[in-house]
């Protein structure tokens, strides 16, 4: 999809959705990052911004990127209203074009899916190269179809975290997989419905 069409697509998604007053972090981020010392974090496809705000509140310096200007403007406003502007840099940016030219201690990509094709694993691979030694990339993907999901194709196949790791083609000399599993959780849909869903969780650490 062309850049401008991707912006239009995601801006419409967010503009049609009421802006949550207090966006919450994703469960897998809380599970993973609560024990980590704060540092520099990069949130790929930050969406509503619950993850970026949670990290910033815990002392992280967060660069939050999203192709949707509606999403990043909302996040910047939320960060301002919470006194977190100095910790959250929310930027409208298509990460297919480039990534920040600096290093991070944590890269997160939660449900970084699109209903159109894009070379996601190339982006994740590049992002893994931005990690400092000891830093981690957390990729949390859908592992099942929620009733409110845009894709209700019964034949849809969700790549396993091991398959995503293999597609990222990171050298075992430089990166090690710390977690690759498929836990269940109760998710809440946009209309308030709940359903049991599966996450595909991949956590990779840069070792040198």
Ligand X SMILES: C[S@@+](CC[C@H](N)C(=O)[O-])C[C@H]1O[C@@H](n2cnc3c(N)ncnc32)[C@H](O)[C@@H]1O
Contacting positions for ligand X (CB under 6 A): 10, 26, 45-48, 65-68, 71, 94-96, 110-114, 118
How far lies 130's CA from each of 29, 100, 121, 137, 196, in Å? 19, 8, 14, 10, 34
Q: Nearest distance from residue 24's CB to ligand X, in Å? A: 10
How far lies 65's CA from each of 90, 160, 170, 175, in Å? 6, 25, 23, 24
Instruction: Yes or no: say if 119 and 128 are a contact pair by the CB < 8 Å rule.
Output: no
Closer by beta carbon to ligand X, 47 or else 161: 47
Q: Nearest distance from residue 130's CB to ligand X, in Å? A: 15
- 42 has which bridge partners? 63, 107
Strand-pair category, 194-206 with 131-142 = antiparallel
HSE of 15 in the Cβ direction (CA atoms, 13 Å)?
Answer: 9
Closer by beta carbon to ligand X, 119 or else 133: 119
Closer by beta carbon to ligand X, 115 or else 134: 115
Q: Nearest distance from residue 142's CB to ligand X, in Å? A: 9
Closer by beta carbon to ligand X, 149 or else 174: 149
Q: Nearest distance from residue 181's CB to ligand X, in Å? A: 18
């Amino acid at each position: 999809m062309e850049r401008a069409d991707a912006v239009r697509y995601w801006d419409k998604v967010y503009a049609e959705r009421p802006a949550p007053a207090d966006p919450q972090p994703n469960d897998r981020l809380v599970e993973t990052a609560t024990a980590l010392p704060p540092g520099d974090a990069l949130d790929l496809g930050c969406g509503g911004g619950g993850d970026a705000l949670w990290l910033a509140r815990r002392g992280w310096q967060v660069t939050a990127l999203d192709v949707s200007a509606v999403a990043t403007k909302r996040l910047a406003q939320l960060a301002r209203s919470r006194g977190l502007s100095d910790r959250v840099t929310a930027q409208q940016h298509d990460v297919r074009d480039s990534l920040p030219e600096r290093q991070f201690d944590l890269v997160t990509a939660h449900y970084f899916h699109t209903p159109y094709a894009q070379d996601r694993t190339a982006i994740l691979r590049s992002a893994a190269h931005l990690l400092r030694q000891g830093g981690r990339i957390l990729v949390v993907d859908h592992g099942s179809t929620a009733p409110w999901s845009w894709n209700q194709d019964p034949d849809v196949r969700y790549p396993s975290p091991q398959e995503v790791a293999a597609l990222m083609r990171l050298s075992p000399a430089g990166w090690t997989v710390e977690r690759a599993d498929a836990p269940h959780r109760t998710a809440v849909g946009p209309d308030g419905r709940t359903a049991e869903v599966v996450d595909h969780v991949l956590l990779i650490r840069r070792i040198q």
